[in-house]
């Protein structure tokens, strides 16, 4: 019993020292408090529109007939596409494309009306600008909707000519009806896909950077051992790790509530999970990140500024490794295993499932377990690396 009280007291001492350290460093304050709240806000505003609308396109209508005009009108009427130019020939349209004024060309060839009249398949050329995935997507979505609609119109006419009308013609036209339901991101928008992953990553990166900075500073000032209460024996050094992590948990819990729960609500991102489950899921995530950062900080960081340098490629690589962009199912096995070094991978995957997709805790048990295992391993490594520092007193071997 007595031992427990001593334990708790040590942890309390480290905790309060750490809180003081955090609040006395303006850089760390910026990273801990401003960045994780500011970034989600900025990015949410940035991607509010979700999808490309009114993509400017040009039409080259060489057929000039009833059907081609109807097609162009329908094209213009879609939310995705606006017909901004009507060109006489292809070279004119190509110039516009090169000058970046339009992002797709629809070309109706001369024989279009003839082919329609002779009941054959008529073709329309689509030249899509591939410089951005979203131009392509908007052009494709808009034009496909029109194409299907137009197909049905003409089809019904033709069946009519063959003596098939009414319900019979409709069934012949659509012997199987395809319904499409887009789940968990109804508009298929970029924001709803990108932002939830970003929220997790921002927490991961700011926490990581902040802890490394604090660690680096003590190393640089040769005060590494001051964070360890003097009378603490080597065997109880884990209390330092625990105390410090408790401090970060305390700071990050309210930040997580705001950025992972309230911000998605305000910006109407898909949110099917409830706060309780999200927080339960985030607990091992935070722990894993904290211990991971401490391990890295103890082993690699000797100067305060250096962690920021590596930040550059790190964030991007992490985002890519989470499997949000490139699905995990078709990732090379080596990178899949490599990605499990970082808490961000199960963190992002799990958060998306719990929050955006409304999965229950049982559904994310794989990610949840991974996070706890990571937290456990990094806790041990963090404690041991601190032990090494204490033992060999190598604070700043420059």
Partner 1 sequence: MRECRRLINAPRYLILLTLGAVLTFVIFATMTNKGQPQRLPVGVVDLDGSYLSRRICHELDATSGVKVHAVYNNHMEARRAMQRGEIYAFYEIPAGTYNNVLQFKAPHFVLYNNAAYLLAGTLCYKQLATMGMLAAGAVQREVLRKKGFDEEQIMGLIQPVAFETRNISNPWINYGIYLMTTLIPAVMAFIALMHTGYAIATERRQKSVKRWMQKANGNALYALLGKMIPYTAWYTLLAIIANLIMFGFMGFPMMGSWLLMVVSTILLIFAAQCAGAFISSCINDPSLSMSVCTLYSAMSFSLSGFSYPIESMPPLFQSFCWLYPIRHYFLNYREIAIYGNGFGHCWVNFAALLSFGLLLLIGAFMLNWQTAKKTAQ
Restricting to residues 108-167, which ones interact with partner 1 according to CB under 8 A?
116, 119-137, 143-144, 147, 150-151, 154-155, 158-159, 162
Q: Name the minimum Å distance from CB 274 to partner 1.
A: 15
Interacting residue with partner 1 among 64, 171, 250, 280 (CB under 8 A):
171
Q: Which is nearer to partner 1, 339 or 383 (CB)?
A: 339
Interacting residue with partner 1 among 22, 59, 96, 97 (CB under 8 A):
97
List binders of partner 1 among 353-372 (CB under 8 A): 353, 356-360, 363-364, 366
96 within 8 A of 127, measured Cβ to Cβ: no
Which token pair is 64? 């000039």
Q: Name the minimum Å distance from CB 378 to partner 1.
A: 21
Q: Name the minimum Å distance from CB 8 to partner 1.
A: 33
> How far is the C-alpha of 290 from the C-alpha of 288, rounded, in Å?
5
Q: Which is nearer to partner 1, 74 or 238 (CB)?
A: 74
Interacting residue with partner 1 among 41, 258, 280, 325 (CB under 8 A):
325
Q: Can you say whether the dihedral through the CA atoms of 275, 281, 284, 285 is positive or negative?
A: negative
Task: Spell out the residues 6+ positions from residue 61 whose beta carbon is closer than 8 angstroms to its own.
Answer: 68, 69, 72, 86, 108
Interacting residue with partner 1 among 177, 230, 234, 397 (CB under 8 A):
177
> How far is the C-alpha of 31 from the C-alpha of 260, rounded, in Å?
17
Q: Name the minimum Å distance from CB 11 to partner 1.
A: 28
Interacting residue with partner 1 among 46, 64, 258, 341 (CB under 8 A):
46
Residue 33 binds partner 1 (CB under 8 A): no
Residues present in the chain in total: 398
Backbone angles phi, psi at 85, to 5 degrees: -130, 140
> How far is the C-alpha of 21 from the C-alpha of 393, rounded, in Å?
22
Residue 3 binds partner 1 (CB under 8 A): no
Q: Which is nearer to partner 1, 16 or 221 (CB)?
A: 221
List binders of partner 1 among 180-219 (CB under 8 A): 180-186, 188, 190, 192-194, 196, 209, 213
> How far is the C-alpha of 177 from the C-alpha of 55, rounded, in Å?
29
Dump the DSSP string for 188-202: --HHHHHHHHHHHHH
Buried b / exposed e across 44-58, counting CB within 10 Å, b at 16+? beebeebbbeebbbb
> How far is the C-alpha of 368 from the C-alpha of 383, rounded, in Å?
23
Backbone angles phi, psi at 284, to 5 degrees: -65, -30
Buried b / exposed e across 162-188, counting CB within 10 Å, b at 16+? eebeeeebbeeeeeeeeeeeeeebeee
Q: Name the minimum Å distance from CB 118 to partner 1.
A: 8
Residue 341 binds partner 1 (CB under 8 A): no
Q: Name the minimum Å distance from CB 16 to partner 1.
A: 23
Q: Which is nearer to partner 1, 3 or 182 (CB)?
A: 182
> How far is the C-alpha of 118 from the C-alpha of 220, rounded, in Å?
83
Residue 344 binds partner 1 (CB under 8 A): no
93 within 8 A of 105, measured Cβ to Cβ: yes
Q: Which is nearer to partner 1, 238 or 353 (CB)?
A: 353
List binders of partner 1 among 301-320 (CB under 8 A): 304-306, 308-317, 320
Query: Which window, 9-17, 85-93, 229-237, 347-355, contacts partner 1 (CB under 8 A)?
Result: 347-355
CA 281 from centre of chain: 18
271 within 8 A of 196, measured Cβ to Cβ: no
Q: Name the minimum Å distance from CB 238 to partner 1.
A: 29
Q: Name the minimum Å distance from CB 166 to partner 1.
A: 12
Residue 70 binds partner 1 (CB under 8 A): no
- Helix ranges restricted to H, 322-397: 333-339, 344-351, 365-392
Residue 253 binds partner 1 (CB under 8 A): no
Residue 236 binds partner 1 (CB under 8 A): no
CA 255 from centre of chain: 18
The size of the interface with partner 1 (CB under 8 A), counted in residues, is: 114
Q: Which is nearer to partner 1, 269 or 294 (CB)?
A: 269
List binders of partner 1 among 255-284 (CB under 8 A): 270
């Amino acid at each position: 019993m007595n031992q427990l009280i001593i334990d708790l007291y040590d942890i309390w001492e480290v905790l309060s020292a750490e809180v003081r350290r955090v609040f006395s460093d303006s850089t760390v304050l910026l990273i801990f408090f401003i960045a994780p709240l500011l970034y989600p806000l900025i990015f949410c505003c940035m991607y509010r529109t979700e999808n490309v609308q009114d993509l400017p396109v040009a039409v080259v209508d060489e057929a000039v007939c009833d059907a081609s005009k109807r097609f162009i009108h329908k094209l213009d009427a879609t939310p995705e596409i606006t017909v901004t130019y009507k060109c006489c020939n292809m070279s004119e349209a190509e110039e516009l494309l090169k000058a970046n004024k339009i992002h797709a060309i629809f070309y109706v060839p001369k024989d279009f009306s003839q082919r329609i009249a002779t009941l054959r398949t008529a073709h329309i050329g689509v030249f899509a600008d591939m410089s951005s995935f979203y131009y392509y997507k908007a052009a494709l979505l808009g034009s496909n909707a029109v194409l299907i609609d137009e197909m049905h119109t003409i089809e019904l006419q033709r069946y009519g000519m063959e003596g098939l009308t009414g319900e019979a013609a409709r069934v012949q036209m659509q012997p199987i009806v395809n319904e499409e339901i887009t789940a968990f991101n109804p508009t298929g928008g970029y924001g709803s896909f990108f932002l939830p992953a970003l929220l997790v990553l921002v927490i991961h990166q700011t926490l990581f950077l902040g802890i490394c900075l604090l660690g680096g500073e003590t190393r640089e000032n040769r005060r590494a051992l001051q964070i360890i209460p003097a009378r603490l024996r080597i065997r109880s050094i884990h209390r330092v790790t625990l105390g410090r992590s408790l401090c970060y948990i305390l700071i990050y819990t309210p930040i997580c509530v705001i950025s992972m729960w309230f911000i998605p609500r305000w910006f109407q991102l898909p949110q099917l999970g409830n706060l309780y489950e999200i927080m339960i899921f985030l607990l091992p995530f935070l722990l894993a990140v904290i211990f991971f950062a401490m391990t890295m900080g103890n082993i690699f960081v000797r100067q305060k500024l250096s962690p920021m340098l590596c930040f550059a490629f790190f964030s991007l690589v992490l985002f890519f490794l989470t499997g949000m962009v490139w699905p995990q199912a078709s990732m090379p096995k080596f990178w899949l295993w490599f990605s499990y070094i970082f808490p961000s991978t199960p963190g992002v995957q799990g958060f998306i499932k719990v929050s955006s997709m409304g999965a229950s805790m049982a559904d994310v048990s794989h990610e949840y377990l991974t996070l706890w295992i990571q937290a456990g391993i990094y806790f041990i490594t963090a404690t041991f690396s601190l032990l090494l520092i204490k033992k060999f007193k190598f604070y700043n071997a420059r």
